[in-house]
Amino acid sequence: MATLSVKPGQRFTVPDWHTNAELISADAESQRSASHRVRQETRALRNETNNQAKWDEHDNQTRLTERISSVNRWKETLDKCLADIDEEIDALAKVKEAAERALQAKNLSLDVAIECLTLRESRRAIDVVRDPVEDELHKEVKVIDKAKRELQQRVNEAFEQLCHLQEARQQLSFDHRGKMEALEIDRVCLSLSVNSPNISFKVNPTRVPNGSTAVDEWEQNSQYNKDHAEAEMKASTKLREVIMLAIAQTNNELEAQRVATEFALRKRIRDMERAYDELKWQERNTLEEIAEMEEDIRRLEEDLQRKMQDLKVAHTRLETRTYRPNVELCRDQVQYGLTDEVHQLEGIIRALKLKLAEAQDALDALYRQLYRIQTDMSYKANSLVLDNKCMDSRRKLVVPAEKFVPEVDTFNRTTNRAPSPLKNGQLELA
């Protein structure tokens, strides 16, 4: 026969069962109420955080845009500054090259002046004179040395200023490259979105990197680079004006001195030509006088010989008449006449001999004077050759070197004509 099985354990009463049902219902109501509150708070938080995130993103987008605009403005400013400084560097380099060319040109002027002084050292005897030409040549050397020193100083200043400009340009270029990189980075950041493929979490992204600067420092750095470059460009512009003024001034001073030197040299050549022509005239007259004196001496010697013969005749007559016999040996008028004739002839012969000696002395003096004239003519001819070689050499200062051709043989000329050679019979000069 079957038996009734009873479940072991505690048994609850009906009130307990109702109480438990009510408790479960109350708990469910409470949990639903808490869940509803959490859901409301979650929605509010989501709305708030979404709005905050959007505004934050919008603000940062705006900040990035403004930053890009600010950096771009500085980049454009630096672009213009770089273009200006490049233009100034090119202008200063050209002025420096012009100063170097002017300095190089002074070497030719100095070489010519020294060459002229050296040539004129070959003058001889009395022509070695400290004349205005030599004074002007020494002044020219001093003017050239002064001009070279000033131009060399300006070239050095230009080189230093170019170094300063290059340094300022390097600072600008470094700042410009930094801004270009910053612009590229910020534009990349501006283009990022939640859909970008290369976004990820980073380790400690809010850290402050080493070397970070404040906005004021960043602004001051760019402003300093710009101001420094502008100051160097201003100094360079002023230096260019000074250099061009120095080139013009030194060229004018040297040109004025060149004109003064060549004026003195031409005047000296004219004076030397007149002196040479005067000596030539003196030589011709002296040669004529020598010829006349030699003719007179020849005639004087002939007269002396004739008087000697006449004296011989008178002596022979007197001696022969001493052989007259006895009383015929009388002192008659013939005797007195022959005696007077002998005395007269002896006096004439003495006078002729004295005059002949005087004429010989005068002839010797004329030959000595002719030697002096011809010697001085050789000095003047040599000086004319040297001074005309100086004039020919100075043509290089106004004629380009590649076009310079000496007009005549500089070793065998004076001005427009060479001195006539010595005639046969004239003294040969050493």
In sequence order, what are the residues at sequence separation of 6 or more whose Cβ sits closer than 8 angstroms to the Cβ of residue 172?
A: 78, 81, 82, 85, 225, 226, 229
Write down the architecture of domain 72-193+217-322+333-396 according to CATH: Up-down Bundle (1.20)
Q: How far apart are CA 12 and CA 4, in angstroms?
A: 20
CA 407, chain centre distance (Å):
29
**% of the chain at pLDDT higher than 90:** 47
Residues 154-167: tens digit of each pLDDT = 999 999 999 999 99
Residues 294-345: tens digit of each pLDDT = 999 999 999 999 999 988 998 898 889 888 888 877 888 888 898 998 899 8
The answer to whether 250 and 150 are in contact (CB under 8 A) is: yes
**Sign of dihedral through CA atoms 222, 225, 228, 231?**
negative
Q: What is the pLDDT of residue 421?
A: 40
Say which amino acid occupies 12: F
Does position 418 have pLDDT exceeding 50, yes or no?
Answer: no
Radius of gyration of the chain (CA): 62
Q: What is the pLDDT of residue 52?
A: 87
Q: How far apart are CA 405 and CA 386, in angstroms?
A: 17
Residues 22-79: tens digit of each pLDDT = 888 898 989 889 899 998 988 998 898 888 888 888 888 898 899 889 989 999 999 9
C-alpha distances in angstroms, 56 versus 64, 95, 334? 12, 57, 170
Q: What is the pLDDT of residue 430?
A: 30
Q: What is the pLDDT of residue 428?
A: 36
Does position 179 have pLDDT exceeding 50, yes or no?
Answer: yes
- Helices assigned H by DSSP within 322-332: none
Residue with tokens 């470094």: 174
Does position 100 have pLDDT exceeding 90, yes or no?
Answer: yes
Q: What is the pLDDT of residue 2?
A: 59
User: Residue by residue, what is the 3-state secondary structure of 253-318?
Assistant: HHHHHHHHHHHHHHHHHHHHHHHHHHHHHHHHHHHHHHHHHHHHHHHHHHHHHHHHHHHHHHHHHH
Q: What is the pLDDT of residue 204?
A: 83
Our CA dihedral for 408, 410, 413, 414, rounded to 10 degrees, sits at 110
Does position 181 have pLDDT exceeding 60, yes or no?
Answer: yes
**Phi, psi angles (nearest 5°) of residue 208:** -95, 110
Q: What is the pLDDT of residue 145?
A: 93
Does position 207 have pLDDT exceeding 90, yes or no?
Answer: no
Mean pLDDT of the region 183-206: 82
Does position 8 have pLDDT exceeding 70, yes or no?
Answer: no
Tokens found for residue 354: 């004295």
How many other C-beta atoms are found inside a 10 Å radius of the C-beta of residue 414?
Answer: 21
Mean pLDDT of the region 372-384: 91
* Residue 190 vs residue 358, higher pLDDT: 358
Does position 16 have pLDDT exceeding 90, yes or no?
Answer: no
Residues 403-412: tens digit of each pLDDT = 444 444 433 4
- Mean residue pLDDT of the chain comes to 85
Q: How far apart are CA 405 and CA 303, in angstroms?
A: 63
Q: What is the pLDDT of residue 424?
A: 36
Q: What is the pLDDT of residue 5?
A: 57
Residues 419-428: tens digit of each pLDDT = 444 333 333 3
Does position 114 have pLDDT exceeding 80, yes or no?
Answer: yes
* Domain range summary for the chain, segments of one domain joined by +: 72-193+217-322+333-396
**% of the chain at pLDDT higher than 70:** 90
